[in-house]
Amino acid sequence: MMNMTTAPPILERLSALGDETRARILALLERSELTVTELASVLQAPQPGVSRHLKTLAAEGWVEARAQGRNRHYRLAPDLDEPARALWRIVRKEIGGSGIYAADAERARGVLERRRLRSAEFFAQAAERWDEVREQLFGPSANLLPMLGLLQEDWVVADLGVGTGALAETLAPFAARVIGVDRSEQMLAAARHRLGQTANVEIRRGDLERLPVADEELDVAVLALVLHYVVDPPAVLAEVRRALKPRGRLVLMDMRTHDRGPWYAEEMGHVWPGFEADQVRGWLVEAGFAHARVVPLPPSRDATGPLLFLASAVKP
Ligand SMILES: C[S@@+](CC[C@H](N)C(=O)[O-])C[C@H]1O[C@@H](n2cnc3c(N)ncnc32)[C@H](O)[C@@H]1O
């Protein structure tokens, strides 16, 4: 990386801009990353000359490069300071109307199109193994993580039955505040250990039957793998409704009815052997929720436990 740790003062950056080829290079690199070969093809200039111009631009902090395979990809330095940006805006405005820059931009589109075709070729061959590659590169939850963007940054989200706080930790960067509630002091100790440094997570000890949450404090309430421990689910759902703002959402994930035998429930301390979709939908309606929906979740490849469902509903 030709990353300038301290940007040269503006007077020492002027000379690079006083050359038409370098201005053309900057105009191109402002829009896309290009290699020397690609730049030479777009500028219709010999490669050694283009390399020399890039060296000058890099020395004055205008561009930087990153290595990819055997190539170096150049781009306009993303951390240009404001005086340099202002200067570049003036130069770009001056040159913007000239036909040569429009022709450069047109040829650059051709170069990028060739690159697009190369990535299309990659996916044409990779379709069969893409799921595996994706999981190897980015982990098993990467296909669900984009959904966190559906949370609004000013929302208060409660993770009810927070357990050791893994979900609360994942939610925290996407919400204004996360409130974790649990009745088990041991689970809460683990959650506090995990979340001690996370400023916008608050842990509260309490029961789901009498939530330590004010009326209409929450935008979202999450109940993940906790309802099957609850003796009176309709009463808990009514209590969750109280804590939600109007238009607030409940998200509930739990086990579908399973037949693992009594030892399983006994060992795990379960009160319910999972739930039927109609049963959960009925309870949500009874608790005063609208848009009640229960969707079975697909089996997870390496999971050994019972199948899950996801229910959601809105407080009218
Ligand atoms: C199976 S753990 C799930 C934890 C977490 N939600 C997760 O998905 O990993 C269930 C948690 O709910 C808590 N819990 C069960 N019943 C509860 C109740 N009535 N009130 C408060 N917490 C409860 C337990 O202490 C436990 O930490």
Share of the chain above pLDDT 70, in %: 97
pLDDT tens profile 58-88: 999 999 999 988 889 999 999 888 888 998 9
Q: Which residues contact 110 (CB under 8 A, 6 or more apart)?
A: none
Q: Show me where the domains of the chain are located.
A: 10-137, 145-314
User: How many angstroms separate the alpha carbon of residue 257 from the centre of ligand 1?
Assistant: 19
Handedness of CA 183, 280, 146, 306 (dihedral sign): positive
Alpha-carbon span 184 to 160, nearest angstrom = 12
Report residue 238 as tokens.
Answer: 């009514």
C-beta 191 within 6 A of ligand 1: no
What pLDDT, on the 0 to 100 scale, is given for residue 306? 92
Out of 2.60.120.20, 2.40.30.10, 2.30.30.180, 3.40.50.150, select the CATH number for domain 145-314: 3.40.50.150
**Rounded Cα gap, residues 210 and 287, in angstroms:** 15
Could you tell me the pLDDT band of residue 4, with boundaries at 50, 70 and 90? Answer: very low
Label residue 190 by pLDDT band (50, 70, 90): very high
Kindly report, residue by residue over 191-230, the tens digit of the pLDDT.
999 998 899 999 999 999 999 999 999 999 999 999 999 9
Kindly state the helix (H) or strand (E) to which residue 108 belongs, with its residue range.
helix 99-126
Is the CB of 38 within 6 Å of ligand 1? Answer: no
One fold for 10-137 and 145-314: no
Query: Ligand 1 centre and the CA of 154: distance in Å?
Result: 26
Taking only the tens place, the pLDDT of each residue in 139-149 is 988 888 999 99
Best residue for ligand 1 mutational test, from 159, 162, 182, 222 (most atoms within 8 Å of Cβ): 182
* More reliable by pLDDT, 31 or 96: 31
B/e letters for 151-178, b = 16+ CB within 10 Å, e = fewer, are beeebbbbbbbbbbbebbbebbebbebb
Question: Measured between alpha carbons, how far apart are the two ends of the chain, in Å?
Answer: 54
- Atom 2 of ligand 1: nearest residue by CA position: 163
Confidence of residue 307 (pLDDT cuts 50, 70, 90): very high
Q: Is the model's pLDDT at 313 over the cut of 80?
A: yes
Where does 10-137 sit in CATH, by number?
A: 1.10.10.10
Mean per-residue pLDDT, 278-302: 95
pLDDT at residue number 130:
87
